[in-house]
Structure 1
C-alpha cells in the first residue's frame, strides 16, 4: 500500500526540524554541519515544493500539521515573516476543516490516517495555531488572523492543566492587545489595560512563586533533571514578560505626569529586565543559531525599551521615577551590555549580529545621555536607498548625530544637544543630515515621529527586519486614546 504524500511530507518536515535542532549543537564538526545543512534544506524543499504548497494535498489534519512544522522551522531559522505567512495557510486549512468548532465535531474532521483520529484533540491543535499566529503578529507588528476556537473560552480554560492554562491565557491576552484600536477614548484604553493586567495576575497565580525563578539550565541548582522542562518554563516566562511590555509599551516615552502612565512605564522597564536576565541565562546554555530563535527578537525589544527609557529619563527632569532610573542605571547598563555581547557572540547568525550592532549605537547614545547630553529627534522619508534593512550609524566623528535607518520608512535621527544649550529653534543640524531632517525637526516631547510605509516590497528577509522594527516602534507610538499624548506566545519561540 502506497503512503499518502502528506504522510511522507510530514516525515521529511520532522526530519528537517530535528536536523535543524542538531545543528544548534556546538560540538558538531564543520564537515558534519555542512552535510546536515544540505540534508535539512533538501528535506524541507522537497516537502514544501511538492506537498505543503498544494492545497489539495493539505486539506486534512495531517496537512495542517505539516504546515505548522514548516512554520516552526522557518521561525527557528529567523525567517519570521515567512513563518507568519505559513501560519496563515495553516489557519485557512484549519478553518476549512472546522477545527475551530472544537471536540464536538471531532468525528467529522478529515484525516488521512485513521490512527490520527485516535489522538486528535481539535481544541489543542487549534490553540497551538492561534498561539503561534499571535506571537508572530505581535513580534512583527502585523494583524492577527480571524481564527477563533472554543478552546480559548473561559469555561474550557478553567478545566485545563495550569501550564496549558498559562498558554491559553497568553493567547487571550495577545488577542486583546492586538485588538487595541488607535484613537479609542481614554476611558476605554485604561479599562482595557486594567482588564489585561488582571489577566496577568491570574497567570502569575497559576504557578508557585519558585516557578518564576531563573533556573540554571545545566541543573547545578538541583532542579528538574530534564532540561527541556526548564526550556518550556523559560519560554512561557519570556512570553509572559514580552506581553507585559507590549501592553505598556506606548507609555514608555510619554511624560504626562499621570499615575497610570508612570506605573505603565515602570512595569514595562521591569519586564524588560526580566526578559534580558532570562535570555542571558538561556543563551549561556544553548548558543546554537536554530534553537528557539524568537528569543533573540524578544531580547532585542526588551533592550531597546530599557535603553530608550533611560535616555528619556534624562530628558524629563520632573519624571517621578527618575531617581529610580539613576540608581538602577549601573546594573541596567551591565545587563544591556551583556545582552549585546551575547547577541554579538553569535557570529554565525546574521540577524543576531545585526541586532547587536544596532543596539550598540543606541547604547553609546545612552551613555552620552547619562553624562548630561540631551537628544532631539527628527524623521525623514529620504534614505537615498540606504535603508534596505534595519541599520544605524553615527554621522560624524563627535558622535553628535545618530541615524537609525528603517526599511521602507526612512530615517530617524537623534541629534545630541546639551541641556543648557541654545533654544531648539536656533539649533542647526549637521550639513550631512540637514536635507533629510531639518524640515521635520521636532522637540523631544513630540518624540519618535514615524513615517508611513512606502509601496516598496523588497525581499522576505528585509520584511522580517522591517516588521520587527514596526512592531516595536508602532507600539511606542500607538493609540493611547483622546488624551494629551498619543499603549500566547508559543513554546516554539
Structure 2
C-alpha cells in the first residue's frame, strides 16, 4: 500500500513544526501517536497500513516535485535507450532490408512475441512433433532465415509495462496514460505488420496461387475478407485492399488485411518453398505473425467500441485456428466474438436490419454451438436466447441446414452436460428431431453429386454441411454405440452412429478427391473423417465372424479411402494431424487383418477421442513345456499375437487430455507420454489372434 507521501504533487508540502514525538503520518493526520512497548510502528499507522517514519526522516528524504519529475524522466530515457539497443541487437533479415530499422525490429519482435499477444497460450511450451512449416510450434533453436525462435519472455512488452509502472503513482493522470499507451501499442503493431507484407512480386505470386480459394472462403465459409462482402474478386482488388488498408492506419482494416494474407499464406502448398522468393520470414512465421498482430489490434480496440470489421476479423481468426487443428482456441475466439456481437445488439436485429450484421451474428453463434458440442463444453446460448429463435427461409437451404445443425448441437450439449441424470429416451427424442428436419430438405440436396460445371464453393460448402450434420449424428449416438457390445438395447444407436460415419467419409471424399479441392487446408475436417473411420474400425473389431459381409467390406473400403486421402494431404501440405491419423489407421487396419507389423508397444492418445494401445510380447527363445496340444496353442497365441485396447470418454471427449495441456491441440504428438493415469469411462480389449 502506498502512503500519501509517496504520491508526487504539483505544490510543495507544508513544512511541519517539530517539537512533538509523533510520527510524520500521525502529525499529518493530527491524531495521537501511541507506540506499544517494544514496537517500531505506532497504533494508527498499523491500523491504516501506513509507513511509520519520524518527522526528521521525512525532511531528510523528501524530494521536490521537480526532482521527482527528473527521476521519472531519467528512468524513461533509460528504458528508451534499452529499447533502441534491443532493436539494434536484432539482426535484420536480408530479404526485407528495404524496411526501416525500427519497422524491422518491431516485426521481429512481433514474430517472436506471439504468445504474449494471446493470454494463456505459449507457442514455445510444446515440443515439436512434425517436420513441416505448417506445424503450430517449432523447437527452440537459433534464429535462421527460415526459423524464428519463440521464447517465453517478452522484452519489448515488458519494457512498455515497466514504463507504465513508473507512472502508477500519478493517480489523476493514469487514465490518460493508459489511452496513450493503447494508441502507441496500436501504432507499433501496425508498423510491425506493415514490415511483414511481402514485396510486390512475392505478393503477386501468393495471390495468384490462392485466388481459386477466395470464393470458397467467402461463399462456403461465410467470411467477409474485404471492406464489404464479396469486394475481393480479382488480383487487382485483392492487392488494392491490402495496400489501401495498410495505408489507412485503421486498426481493424489493417487486422483484416493481415488475416486475409494469413489465409493465403496458410493455403500455400509445400512446393511453394522451392520457389525463389524474398519473403520477410518463413511462411509459418508469417501466418503466426499476421494472426498475432491482428489479434492484438482487435484486443486493444474491442474494449473501447466493437465494430463490424472487428467481428468479421474474429470470425476469420476462428477459421484460421480450425485450419490449424486448434478447435479450443477457435472456441475462445467464438466466445469473444459472441460477447462483442451482443454488445453491438446484433442478437436483437429486426428484419429491416442490413443483412451483413445478421449474417455475421448467425455465423458466430452457430459456430460457437458446434465447437462447444465438439469439445464437450457448455454453450453461451440456450434455446431461449433471443438471437437464436428465428429460422432462416427455406429458400436458402444452406443457411437452413446450418441453423438446424446448430439447434441439434444445442440439444446434444444439454444432454452431455447432464449425462449422469438423463436417460436413453432423451437421445432418441433428439434423434427424432434431427430426422424430422432432414426430411424437410429435398433428397436431391442430400444425394447431389458435383459435375464439371459445379462451382468449387458449392462443392466445398455442401461437403462441409454434410460433414457437420452427420458429425452431430455421430456425436449423439456414439456414447451408446460404445455400450452396444455388452447391451443390445443400444443396437439402434450403433446403427445410427455407423451410418453417420459412412456419410461423413463419403462427403469428405468428394472434397478430397476433387482435383482442385484436394489440397484445401482444414485440419479439423481431416480429423472428423479420421475419427469416423476409427469408429468403423471399432465396429469391425467387434464382429466375431471371420466371414466378411458386403457391408463390412464396404466399410473397410471407406477406411482405406480415408487413409489414402490423409496420406496425400500430409505429404502435399505437411499436415501433422493428417499424418498421425494415417499412422493410426494403418496400424489398426493391419491389426484387423492379422498382419500387424508396428512397434511392440504402440500407445497413442487421440485428442477428443480416447486412447489406443497395441502391445505384442517379444519372441522368446525359451520353449516352455505344455501338457497338451490345446494348451500349447493358447499359450502360443498369448505370447506372440498382439493385443489391442481402446479407451474413450464418450460424453466428455475434451477431458484433461493432451490436447488440453498443449497449445497444439490436434497437432500434438499423439504418442507423447501424456494421460498415462487418466481414467476413461469406456474401455475394450481385442485379441489379435482372433483375426488370423
TM-score, length of structure 2 as denominator length: 0.50
C-alpha contact 2:325 2:666 (8 A) present in aligned 1:
no
C-alpha contact 1:130 1:147 (8 A) present in aligned 2:
no
CA distance in 1, matches of 2:431, 2:537: 24
The correspondence for 1:359, drawn from 585, 591, 597, is 585
Q: Which residue pairs with 1:295 in the alignment?
A: 525
Aligned in 2, Cα 1:159/1:226: closer, same or farther, shift over 3 Å?
closer
Instruction: Note the C-alpha offset of 1:349.
Output: 1.2
Q: Does the residue aligned with 1:103 lie in a helix, a strand or coil?
A: coil
Q: Which residue pairs with 1:89 in the alignment?
A: 336
The correspondence for 1:403, drawn from 603, 615, 618, is 603
Instruction: Note the C-alpha offset of 1:136.
Output: 2.4
C-alpha contact 1:6 1:62 (8 A) present in aligned 2:
yes
Aligned in 2, Cα 1:32/1:53: closer, same or farther, shift over 3 Å?
farther
**Please, which runs of 5 or more residues in structure 1 have no aligned partner?**
107-116, 374-392, 434-440, 479-493
Q: Does the residue aligned with 1:121 lie in a helix, a strand or coil?
A: helix
Q: Which residue pairs with 1:438 in the alignment?
A: none
Aligned in 2, Cα 1:146/1:183: closer, same or farther, shift over 3 Å?
closer
CA distance in 2, matches of 1:242, 1:90: 24
C-alpha contact 2:258 2:290 (8 A) present in aligned 1:
yes
Q: Does the residue aligned with 2:647 lie in a helix, a strand or coil?
A: coil
CA distance in 1, matches of 2:395, 2:448: 25
Q: Which residue pairs with 1:283 in the alignment?
A: 512
CA distance in 2, matches of 1:136, 1:456: 15
CA distance in 2, matches of 1:454, 1:353: 20
Aligned in 2, Cα 1:197/1:454: closer, same or farther, shift over 3 Å?
closer
CA distance in 1, matches of 2:482, 2:669: 21
Q: Is the counterpart of residue 330 in structure 1 residue 577 in structure 2?
A: no
Instruction: Note the C-alpha offset of 1:169.
Output: 0.4
Q: Which residue pairs with 2:441 in the alignment?
A: 207
C-alpha contact 1:76 1:290 (8 A) present in aligned 2:
no
The correspondence for 1:48, drawn from 272, 295, 298, is 295
Q: Is the counterpart of residue 69 in structure 1 residue 305 in structure 2?
A: no
The correspondence for 1:140, drawn from 361, 367, 375, is 375
Could you say which structure has the greater relative contact order, defined with CA pairs below 8 angstroms and 6 or more residues apart?
A: 1
C-alpha contact 2:509 2:562 (8 A) present in aligned 1:
yes
Q: Is the counterpart of residue 453 in structure 1 residue 687 in structure 2?
A: no
CA distance in 2, matches of 1:272, 1:408: 16
After superposition, give the CA deviation of every residue in 1:274-293 in whole Å (9 maximum; x if it has no partner).
21122222112256655343
Instruction: Note the C-alpha offset of 1:180.
Output: 1.1
Aligned in 2, Cα 1:156/1:212: closer, same or farther, shift over 3 Å?
closer
Instruction: Note the C-alpha offset of 1:212.
Output: 1.6
After superposition, give the CA deviation of every residue in 1:405-436 in whole Å (9 maximum; x if it has no partner).
4679996535689xx998xxx999989x9xxx
After superposition, give the CA deviation of every residue in 1:320-362 in whole Å (9 maximum; x if it has no partner).
xx98x73322222122112112101222112211111122222
Aligned in 2, Cα 1:193/1:294: closer, same or farther, shift over 3 Å?
same
Instruction: Note the C-alpha offset of 1:175.
Output: 0.8
CA distance in 2, matches of 1:171, 1:29: 39
Aligned in 2, Cα 1:367/1:145: closer, same or farther, shift over 3 Å?
farther
Instruction: Note the C-alpha offset of 1:63.
Output: 1.7
Q: Which residue pairs with 1:10 in the alignment?
A: 256
C-alpha contact 2:408 2:472 (8 A) present in aligned 1:
yes
CA distance in 2, matches of 1:303, 1:33: 40
Aligned in 2, Cα 1:267/1:100: closer, same or farther, shift over 3 Å?
same
Instruction: Note the C-alpha offset of 1:168.
Output: 0.4
CA-based RMSD of the aligned residues comes to 4.4
C-alpha contact 2:311 2:360 (8 A) present in aligned 1:
no
Q: Which residue pairs with 2:274 in the alignment?
A: 30
Q: Which residue pairs with 1:482 in the alignment?
A: none
After superposition, give the CA deviation of every residue in 1:95-146 in whole Å (9 maximum; x if it has no partner).
3333223338x9xxxxxxxxxx754433x32221122223323333444334
The correspondence for 1:166, drawn from 381, 398, 401, is 401
Q: Does the residue aligned with 1:179 lie in a helix, a strand or coil?
A: helix
CA distance in 2, matches of 1:90, 1:57: 14
Aligned in 2, Cα 1:196/1:298: closer, same or farther, shift over 3 Å?
same
After superposition, give the CA deviation of every residue in 1:228-254 in whole Å (9 maximum; x if it has no partner).
112111111111111111111012222
Instruction: Note the C-alpha offset of 1:33.
Output: 8.2
Q: Does the residue aligned with 1:156 lie in a helix, a strand or coil?
A: coil
Aligned in 2, Cα 1:295/1:454: closer, same or farther, shift over 3 Å?
closer
CA distance in 1, matches of 2:608, 2:454: 48
Aligned in 2, Cα 1:394/1:236: closer, same or farther, shift over 3 Å?
same
After superposition, give the CA deviation of every residue in 1:142-177 in whole Å (9 maximum; x if it has no partner).
443347753532x53466733211110000011111
CA distance in 2, matches of 1:234, 1:70: 22
Name which of structure 1's ranges 133-142 and 304-313 shifts more when overlaid on structure 2.
Answer: 133-142
Aligned in 2, Cα 1:95/1:28: closer, same or farther, shift over 3 Å?
same
Q: Is the counterpart of residue 267 in structure 1 residue 496 in structure 2?
A: yes
Q: Which residue pairs with 1:487 in the alignment?
A: none
After superposition, give the CA deviation of every residue in 1:64-118 in whole Å (9 maximum; x if it has no partner).
22111111122123233322222222122223333223338x9xxxxxxxxxx75
C-alpha contact 2:334 2:367 (8 A) present in aligned 1:
yes
**Please, which runs of 5 or more residues in structure 2 have no aligned partner?**
1-246, 618-628, 683-692
C-alpha contact 2:577 2:667 (8 A) present in aligned 1:
no
Instruction: Note the C-alpha offset of 1:28.
Output: 5.5
Instruction: Note the C-alpha offset of 1:302.
Output: 0.5
Q: Is the counterpart of residue 152 in structure 1 residue 152 in structure 2?
A: no
CA distance in 2, matches of 1:288, 1:254: 36
CA distance in 2, matches of 1:408, 1:151: 29
The correspondence for 2:565, drawn from 312, 319, 342, is 342
C-alpha contact 1:81 1:464 (8 A) present in aligned 2:
no
Q: Number of matched residues?
A: 403
Q: Does the residue aligned with 1:453 lie in a helix, a strand or coil?
A: coil
Aligned in 2, Cα 1:334/1:97: closer, same or farther, shift over 3 Å?
same
C-alpha contact 1:244 1:267 (8 A) present in aligned 2:
yes
